[in-house]
A = this chain, B = another copy of it.
Amino acid sequence: MSDGVTGRLGVLGGGQLGRMTGLEGRPLGVEFRFYDPSSEAAAKQLGELVVGDFDDLEALRRFADGVDVVTYEFENVPVASAEFLAERVKVFPPPVALAKTQDRLIEKQFLFDLGIPVAPFRAIEDLPSLQKAVAAIGLPAVLKTRTLGYDGKGQVVLRTQADVERAWAALHGRPLILEQFVPFDQEASIVGVRGQSGTAFYPLVANIHRDGILHVTRAPGGLSAALQAAAAGHLNKLFDAFGYVGVCTIEFFVVGESLVVNEVAPRVHNSGHWTIEGAATSQFANHVRAVLGLPLGSTQALGASAMVNIIGALPRVADLLALDGVYVHLYGKRPRPGRKLGHVTIAHLSEIETERRLADVLAIVDGTR
């Protein structure tokens, strides 16, 4: 601390999550070093950037040298790489959290064993095992790749028997899982944080996806106190099971007054971006605090908020900023179809004004696509 530096944090992944972690962590006196395969990573210029593949142990060694703690913004870092780093420096969240969440089959089994509700699922080895699983689970169901799926990629919904072979043709060749399709009323997620002495949970938020990508988050999500408590309880079980340190997110399907876990992200999450303006402490600041052993900040919402993702094409920033209560976050990425380029937060307005402003923002953002 004598040099004015609170801590030196290495972040695996230099995308927008790393960038926002840097923007929120630097005021705390934290120095950042990012690790990314691309020299054009979005987090560039918020700290040093080490370029390397996630399995390049020599580059990872250089990355770890001189940082106090390593964390990640990208959950598909190879577990072996995280463990290699953990022999040299503190790694938070612990690599076991990666090991249990990178593969949907392992994740589902792990959640099931903890007593956390998941949809019925089966491992799929071949077409007969898929047919057998469809018979057991029923239709509709979703066939998914076990690894590396995100934003709706690597998934096919099966509604009729005719879909079974089509889905197999589309995805076979990779390890697969079949899950019962959950007839959800809505989607929700909870972001929580476990520090070295305590936990804190943000409000359960309501999410709307489009083309498999998060489109809109409303925070708080208007869900019952019972659902909030259940969601926090599930996340707390994971915290304990992993000996977790940092921010973690669970995405849920809401069915009536019950929750079914969709997936776990052992990191800051797109559905928590509203916390930058909308909560007393942002998910990014709380992640930095947790992994560096600093006290956690309040997760209280400052009022109603909403978040809209900017995907594929950029709206005119001036049109958005002309609206009261609207905050624009661009990630410095070149537009490309389906790419997350930024997000817009609506905050500090009343609940009804927030809804109206959300409609205005959607008109501008969707008009751009």
Residues on A facing B (Cβ under 8 Å): 1-6, 23, 26-29, 31, 45-47, 280, 289, 293-295, 297-298, 300, 302, 314, 316-318, 321-322, 324-325, 327-335, 341-342, 348
Task: Identify which of B27, B280, B289, B322 contacts A330 (C-beta below 8 A).
Answer: B27
Judge whether A280 and B325 touch: CB under 8 Å. Answer: yes
List, sorted by A's number, 26 A–B pairs whose CB atoms are closer than 8 Å: A1-B314, A1-B317, A2-B335, A4-B314, A4-B330, A4-B331, A4-B333, A4-B334, A4-B341, A6-B330, A23-B27, A26-B46, A27-B330, A28-B317, A28-B328, A28-B330, A29-B328, A29-B332, A45-B47, A46-B46, A280-B324, A294-B317, A294-B321, A298-B324, A300-B348, A302-B348
Q: Which residues of B contact A294 (CB under 8 A)?
A: 317-318, 321
Judge whether B335 and A4 touch: CB under 8 Å. Answer: yes
Judge whether B280 and A295 touch: CB under 8 Å. Answer: no
A200 CB → nearest B CB, Å: 11
In Å, the complex CA distance between A289 and B342 comes to: 18
Judge whether A321 and B289 touch: CB under 8 Å. Answer: yes
In Å, the complex CA distance between A297 and B345 comes to: 13
Q: Which residues of B contact A6 (CB under 8 A)?
A: 317, 330
- On whether A321 and B295 interact (CB within 8 A), knowing A4-B330, A4-B341, A27-B329, the answer reads yes
Q: Which residues of B contact A331 (CB under 8 A)?
A: 4
- On whether A334 and B3 interact (CB within 8 A), knowing A28-B328, A317-B294, the answer reads yes
A348 CB → nearest B CB, Å: 5
Q: Which residues of B contact A280 (CB under 8 A)?
A: 324-325, 348
A300, closest chain B residue (CB): B348
Judge whether B29 and A342 touch: CB under 8 Å. Answer: yes
Q: Which residues of B contact A298 (CB under 8 A)?
A: 324-325, 348
A342 CB → nearest B CB, Å: 7
Tell which of A6, A46, A298 has the most Cβ of chain B within 10 Å: A6
A178 CB → nearest B CB, Å: 39
In Å, the complex CA distance between A298 and B323 comes to: 9
Tell which of A27, A298, A314, A331 has the most Cβ of chain B within 10 Å: A27
Judge whether B317 and A29 touch: CB under 8 Å. Answer: yes
In Å, the complex CA distance between A268 and B297 comes to: 27
A315, closest chain B residue (CB): B1
In Å, the complex CA distance between A47 and B333 comes to: 16
In Å, the complex CA distance between A133 and B144 comes to: 86
In Å, the complex CA distance between A228 and B248 comes to: 45
